Structure 1
Amino acid sequence: MSAALLAAQSLVVGSASGSQFAPYASGARRAIWVVGAQKIVPDLETALRRLRTYSLPREHQRLADLYGQSSFIGRILILEREAFPDRGTVILVRETIGFRSGTAGCGPAAAGRRATGRRPGAGVLASP
């Protein structure tokens, strides 16, 4: 799963199955996203292009290396506004979070990946 943060305060998330969208969209009482500042893009068009041309090829390669399978974007979630005040928090950090040097392995999602050997239902946000 990949995502981008729009300068206009929207979050765009791409996923093959969308199975992890529920907590992003509304299922979790509290959602905290840790976002590398490099993931901020100016508009929706750029966010979608980033998902398809940056994140997807890296996720495809990661899955091919680990499991011999491919990846694709089957679902896209766009979060534009939160219905419940204080439910969502975005923490911007200066370091690169997501794919680094062509491989995934940093950020909060990586901890679950290292522990289980597979990517959890959701990566925090898109790659650098």
Structure 2
Amino acid sequence: MTNGIEATVALCKCGKVHKAYGVRFEKTGKKHWKYTWAFPIKESAAKHEGYDETTIIGKIEPTEDYPGCPYCKATTFVICGTCGKLNCYNGSRLFSCGWCGVHGVVSLGYDGSGIRSSGDR
């Protein structure tokens, strides 16, 4: 927490290039988070920083100037229903999780139940 702002970083995986990146989330309300920026990071470095253990519960949405995935520029996510991890969302109804490999159809309408950078939800 800096200057009274609660912020954390979660990992996301780009479905296009299959590389991980960090996404900075800033808490803006009791159960409301905005994602503010993204940066490339190696999974080993993310683990060292503890980014692989991030859990966020609540509504998530981008800031107006969120730059998107550093690889494919996607500005929204798919949260895997099996592992709870973030993946880029490119608008396709078909989904393949870059973390656990599950395939399926994207369902719209995140309920705020939570995202995790590692492990089961």
Give the TM-score band, short-chain normalised. Answer: under 0.3
More strand by share: 2
Q: Normalization by structure 1: what TM-score?
A: 0.27
Structure with more contact order per residue of length (Cα contacts < 8 Å, sep ≥ 6) = 1
TM-score computed with the length of structure 2 as normaliser? 0.28
- Which one has the bigger helix percentage? 1
